Structure 1
Amino acid sequence: MSWDYFAYFAAAALLLWGAGASAAWRGKRPVAVYTFTLAGLAVFFGFIVAMWISLERPPMRTMGETRLWYSFFLPLAGLITYSRWKYKWILGFSFVLSLVFICINLFKPEIHNKTLMPALQSPWFTPHVIVYMFAYAMLGAAAVMAVYLMWFKKKEIERKEMDLCDNLTYVGLAFMTLGMLSGAVWAKAAWGHYWAWDPKETWAAATWFSYLGYIHYRLGRPRACRRALTGLLISFLLLQMCWYGINYLPSAQGVSVHTYNLN
């Protein structure tokens, strides 16, 4: 499968996700929401699988390839949130976020080749990246909810709405923890140590502790909603630095073993 076909698969998936988001927003029967959204996920995942076969490796090496997974997991996270809490707008937000990342891949595609450095030729490579991308999607949904509550909601923030942020953070942090643990085991096999305070690892630790701080603050100060949401958004900014921002910092160039995804 050539990268040239990405636009066609992406357009089809976006049309289906948009139809699902529209059906949810208009209060249509859930079957329409699930049918359109799941069909879009199937189309997009079909392209990922085809790229996997074509590259003869998991499409997870470059930033463009990880954006593929993030674009896939965002509607999935939105559908999970819609299924559990029936917020009809969440699929619309996940659709817009997926559209943004897909557009980045369309206008600034990364180099997609078959080359994998030895450290990436590990059985831990695929589960580590997939777990992290799902964690990022869930935490992205929590950040979207925080933005909605802080700037778009006209009435007082309700407890059930904060519970949604909390639950999304719980799930996201749990998967992030699994990602860090799998990464530590992978690092031990590849470089001989579990943790070395590499710049990427340092930002990962800062992100993990930030989300943990949000959870503890919510437990200790359940009524301080806006302060907690501010902390949640700060945590999401740290997550962005951990994901891709670190690649552009001078401190990581020639030092971090995680900057291979720029090549």
Structure 2
Amino acid sequence: MSWDYFAPFAIVALLCWGVGAFAAWRGKRQGVVYGFTLLGLAVFFSFIVAMWVSLERPPMRTMGETRLWYSFFLPLAGIITYSRWKYKWILSFSFILSLVFICINLFKPEIHNKTLMPALQSPWFTPHVIVYMFAYAMLGAAAVMAVYLLFFKKKGIEPREMDLCDNLACVGLAFMTLGMLSGAVWAKSAWGHYWAWDPKETWAAATWFSYLGYVHFRLGRPTVYRKALVGLLISFLLLQMCWYGINYLPSAQGVSVHTYNLN
């Protein structure tokens, strides 16, 4: 499977996710919502698996490849959220975000045939990236919810809506913590130390503390909604910096071991 086949797989998956999101928005039968969303996930994941087989390595080497996983996990996080809380709009937002990242890969594909550097040839590589991408998807869903509550909801914010933000943020933070711990163990075996405070790790720590601060703020001031939501969006901006923003920092060039995807 080559990258040339990405477009048809992506288009079919997006059509399925779009139908599922539209059905959820219009309150159609849940069988239609689940059926089309899961079908889209299966189609998209089949491309990821085919790329994995073709490359003879996990497709997680470049930013474009990590965007594949993020595009996959966003609808997955959306259907999990919809299944639990029945917010009819969540699948629409996850569909739009997936569309954005898929379009980036369609119009600006990155090199997808790079071999893995020795440090990435580790059994920790795959679970580390997958756990992080799932965490990013859950935290992305939390950010979408925060945007909706802050800027689009006309009535007052309800406690159950904040509970949804809290649940998404806590699940995302838990998986982010697992990702950091697995990364530390991987770093110990690859470079001889658990933590080096390079730019990537510094921003990862800042992001982790920011989300932890959100959780503590919610516990301490559970009725202060808007400040909490602003903090959640700030945390998500830090997350974007941690994920790909550091690749463009002059301080990371030639220094950070985490900028290998630009080599």
- The TM-score normalised by the length of structure 2 is 0.99
Question: Which residue pairs with 2:2 in the alignment?
Answer: 2
1:246 aligns with 2:223: no
Q: Tell me the alpha carbon deviations over residues 89-117 of structure 1, each in whole angstroms, 9 at most, x when there is no partner.
A: 00000000000000000011010114110
Q: Tell me the alpha carbon deviations over residues 148-201 of structure 1, each in whole angstroms, 9 at most, x when there is no partner.
A: 000000001000000000000010000000000000000000000000101100
Distance 2:165 2:241 in 1: 21
Secondary structure of the 2:22 match is helix
List aligned pairs for 1:179-198, cutoff 5 A.
179-198=179-198
Distance 2:164 2:102 in 1: 26
1:13 aligns with 2:26: no
Contact 1:57 1:114 in 2 (8 A): no
Question: Which residue pairs with 2:104 in the alignment?
Answer: 104
Which amino acid is the alignment partner of residue 57 of structure 1? R
The Cα shift of 1:6 comes to 0.2
Question: Which residue pairs with 1:161 in the alignment?
Answer: 161
Secondary structure of the 1:79 match is helix
Question: Which residue pairs with 1:219 in the alignment?
Answer: 219
Secondary structure of the 2:165 match is helix
Question: Which residue pairs with 1:135 in the alignment?
Answer: 135
List aligned pairs for 1:51-130, cutoff 5 A.
51-130=51-130
- The TM-score normalised by the length of structure 1 is 0.99
Distance 1:94 1:28 in 2: 18
Q: Tell me the alpha carbon deviations over residues 111-141 of structure 1, each in whole angstroms, 9 at most, x when there is no partner.
A: 0114110000000000000000000000000
Which amino acid is the alignment partner of residue 192 of structure 1? G
Contact 2:61 2:114 in 1 (8 A): no
Aligned length: 263
Which amino acid is the alignment partner of residue 168 of structure 1? L
Contact 1:56 1:114 in 2 (8 A): no
Gaps of 5+ in 2: none
The Cα shift of 1:53 comes to 0.4
Contact 2:122 2:186 in 1 (8 A): yes
Distance 1:106 1:146 in 2: 28
Which amino acid is the alignment partner of residue 128 of structure 1? H
Distance 1:191 1:77 in 2: 33
Question: Which residue pairs with 1:24 in the alignment?
Answer: 24
1:38 aligns with 2:43: no
What is the root-mean-square deviation of aligned Cα atoms in Å? 0.5
Q: Tell me the alpha carbon deviations over residues 202-225 of structure 1, each in whole angstroms, 9 at most, x when there is no partner.
A: 000000000000000001011110
Contact 1:70 1:98 in 2 (8 A): yes
In structure 2, relative to structure 1, the CA distance for the partners of 1:206 and 1:69 (3 Å cut) is same
Among the aligned pairs, what percent are the same residue?
Answer: 88
Contact 1:75 1:94 in 2 (8 A): yes
Distance 2:18 2:68 in 1: 18
Which amino acid is the alignment partner of residue 169 of structure 2? T
Secondary structure of the 2:212 match is helix
